[in-house]
Homo-oligomer: A and B are copies of this chain.
C-alpha cells in the first residue's frame, strides 16, 4: 500500500526517439527562417483483430468478469492491468456491502437479444441511398439495429437483456464521406425519414434511445468509417480529425508523431470525437489539456440547412454568433459533426502516477481544495471515498509469499502506526504529466499539502492501478447484473462549498429512499471527486442494489436515481458535469434553466431543422413532426 519514494519517482519519457521528434517538432529558428515541416498525413487506421466490441455489454468482447470455481472473480482477456488476476475478495465484499448473501450460482440469464421491433421499411428512401452508398454500408441486421438504439445506461442495458426496447433504428448506414452524409440528409428531408448520428454508442443519457412514438423510419448514421486523421500540423499544433475516430485511435495515431490531444474521458477506448463534441465531454486530464470546448478550434457539421464550415481554423476568434458553439452539447438534434480541428500537445516529457492516502474524505477534499488554491494541480487528481477505496482493495489479486508479507506490513503500518481507520480512510490517485521540472514542482506541492491534511504517500504502483482501474471496473456493471445486482454511475459538478454536503446528502437520501421501500439488504452508494476546478469539482457516484424478487428493478433504479438527482440539485449541484441531458435527465431541465432558455432551444431547433430530420428528441425537444406542430400550437 505504501512505497518508497524512489518507486514513486519512476520517470518515463513520452517522446518518441529523437529522429522522429526532430521531424515533427519545429523550433522558433525554423519558424523565423520559414523552414517548416509540412503537415503529416497519417495512414488510415482500423481496429485490431481482437478489438471487436460487445453488442450486449460494455467494451470489448475479450473482456468480461467471470467467476472461477473457487468463487474468485477474474476479468477475462489480457487487455487491462486488471485482466487475468484472480480476485478472491470481490464477491465476499459485495455480499457484505449489500447485506445479501446471494449464491453465485443463482444467475439471471440474459435474454439478449430481447425481441427487436420489426423495421419500418421505406423503399423509396432505400433505393435512393443505394445510389450513393454501397451495400456494405447499409445494414438491416436486427442486432446491429438494436445496438444503434441505445447507449450504456443501466436501464438500456437491462432492457436489451431482460426486457425490450420499444423502438430501434430501422436501418443503419455507414457513410464514408461528408458528401454521402449531405446526400443522406437531403434524402431524409424529402422522404420524411429521421436520422440519428451514432458515434461510439457509449452515452449514458439515453441520447440514442429512439422515441417510442416516432412513426417515421429511423436511420442510424454510424460514423465509424469516417475516422481518418486528415492532417497533423506540427508547427501550429493542430490536427483535423474525422468525427468517427475513437479515442484510443486518436491517442495511438497522434503518439506515433509525438503528440496527444490529452482528452481522456473514462470511455476513451470506445467513444468518438464527434460524440465528445455532441455531449460536451470532459477528460480525466483536463487540468493539463482542458475539456472538449477548450480543445476544439473548428467543426464541420452537416445540418438540414446546409453544411456549417469555416474557411480556416484559427487560434481564437471573435466573429459574432458562431454556429460552432451551438453544436457543443447538441446531442444529435441539430446535425452530424463530420470533422473537427483540434489542438494538439506534445507528449509530456514525464508521465508519472502517484497515490496519497488520507484519514478521511473530508481531509482529502480539503487537500484538493488547497491544491487548487496554492499549486498547479497535476493532470489528473481523483479522490475516492472509503467504500470505493475498499472496492479498489478487493480488486487486488491474492498475494502470496513476500508480496503478501509486504502488503500485510503496509496495512499494519497504515492502520496501526499511522492510525488510519480502514472504515474511514480514502485514497487520491494522481497522474503527473509535463516537463520534468514542472512535474517535480507539482509533486513537491502535492506532498506538502497532503501532509497538511494528514495524508501519506501510497506510491506510484497504487496510483497507476487506481487510475487504470477505471477501464476495468467499467465491466463490473454487466457482471453483477447477471447476479441480480443493478449498479450504475451518475455525476454532477458542484461548487467547493457544497461538496461535502452534496456527497453526504445524496448518500443519505438514497439510503432513506431504499429503506422506505423495504428493499433487500442495503444499497451500495459511493462517490469520488474526479475533477477539480478553482470554482468546484465534479463528483461521480456509484449506486447499486440487489434486486432478486423485486418487480421492474430497472424502473426502480431509475426512480432512485431521480431521487439522487433531486438531492443533487437541492444541494447546489449541476444536472450533469459531462454526461449531458439526453432523455434521462430532461425532466429536470425546467429546474435549472428559465422557461425562456428552454424556449430558445426549441425555437432554434425549429428554425434549423423545421421538419425535425434529426428527431432523436433529446433535451427540451419533443419527438416526431406531429409533436413539433403541437409545440408550435402551444
Q: How far is the CA of A279 from the CA of B320 in the complex (A)?
A: 7
A contacts with B: majority SS: mixed
Complex contact B32–A321 (CB within 8 A): no
Complex contact B366–A31 (CB within 8 A): yes
Determine which of B449, B576, B608 lies in contact with A600 in the assembled complex, contact meaning CB atoms within 8 Å. Answer: B608
Q: Which residue of B lies closest to A342 (CB)?
A: B535
Complex contact A319–B580 (CB within 8 A): yes
Determine which of B34, B305, B449 lies in contact with A596 in the assembled complex, contact meaning CB atoms within 8 Å. Answer: B305
Complex contact A597–B497 (CB within 8 A): no
Complex contact A321–B31 (CB within 8 A): no
Q: How far is the CA of A312 from the CA of B32 in the complex (A)?
A: 48
Of the stretches A136-144, A167-175, A266-274, A324-332, the one at the interface is A324-332
A311 at the interface (CB under 8 A from B): yes
A102 at the interface (CB under 8 A from B): no
Contacts of A601 in B (CB 8 A): 320-321, 323
A538 at the interface (CB under 8 A from B): yes
Q: Which residue of B lies closest to A333 (CB)?
A: B321
Complex contact B29–A366 (CB within 8 A): yes
| CB-CB under 8 A for A596 and B320, given A346-B373, A496-B235 | no
Complex contact B28–A366 (CB within 8 A): yes
A106 at the interface (CB under 8 A from B): no
Complex contact A320–B331 (CB within 8 A): yes
Q: Min CB distance, A265 to chain B, in Å?
A: 11
Contacts of A31 in B (CB 8 A): 365-366, 369, 496-497, 499-500
A552 at the interface (CB under 8 A from B): no
Most buried by B among A25, A236, A329: A236
A603 at the interface (CB under 8 A from B): yes
Contacts of A237 in B (CB 8 A): 534-535
Q: How far is the CA of A317 from the CA of B531 in the complex (A)?
A: 12
Complex contact A619–B345 (CB within 8 A): no
Contacts of A309 in B (CB 8 A): 593-594, 596-597
Q: How many residues belonging to A are interface residues under a CB distance threshold of 8 Å?
A: 113
Determine which of B280, B306, B314 lies in contact with A599 in the assembled complex, contact meaning CB atoms within 8 Å. Answer: B306
Complex contact B493–A323 (CB within 8 A): no
Q: How far is the CA of A334 from the CA of B326 in the complex (A)?
A: 15
Complex contact A580–B318 (CB within 8 A): yes
Complex contact B32–A279 (CB within 8 A): no
Complex contact A27–B370 (CB within 8 A): yes
Complex contact A320–B497 (CB within 8 A): no
Determine which of B297, B323, B589, B604 lies in contact with A597 in the assembled complex, contact meaning CB atoms within 8 Å. Answer: B323
CB interface residues, A 297-352, toward B, < 8 Å: 297, 303, 305-323, 325-326, 328-331, 333-334, 343, 345-346
Q: How far is the CA of A76 from the CA of B505 in the complex (A)?
A: 61
Contacts of A534 in B (CB 8 A): 237, 315, 343, 345
Complex contact B535–A318 (CB within 8 A): no
Render A546-562 as a binary contact track against B, CB cut-off 8 A, 1 for contact: 00000000000000000
Complex contact A576–B363 (CB within 8 A): no
Q: Min CB distance, A612 to chain B, in Å?
A: 15
Complex contact A599–B305 (CB within 8 A): yes
Contacts of A343 in B (CB 8 A): 534-535
Which residues on A are within 8 Å of B, measured CB to CB? Answer: 25, 27-29, 31-32, 34, 36, 233, 235-238, 279-282, 291, 294, 297, 303, 305-323, 325-326, 328-331, 333-334, 343, 345-346, 362-363, 365-370, 373, 376, 437-438, 441, 449, 452-453, 493-497, 499-501, 531, 533-538, 569, 572-581, 589, 591-597, 599-601, 603-608, 618-620
30 contacts between A and B (CB under 8 A): A28-B366, A28-B368, A29-B366, A31-B499, A32-B363, A237-B534, A306-B599, A307-B596, A308-B594, A310-B593, A314-B535, A314-B536, A315-B535, A315-B577, A316-B493, A318-B580, A319-B589, A319-B592, A320-B330, A320-B619, A325-B325, A326-B326, A326-B604, A346-B373, A376-B438, A600-B608, A603-B607, A603-B608, A606-B607, A607-B607
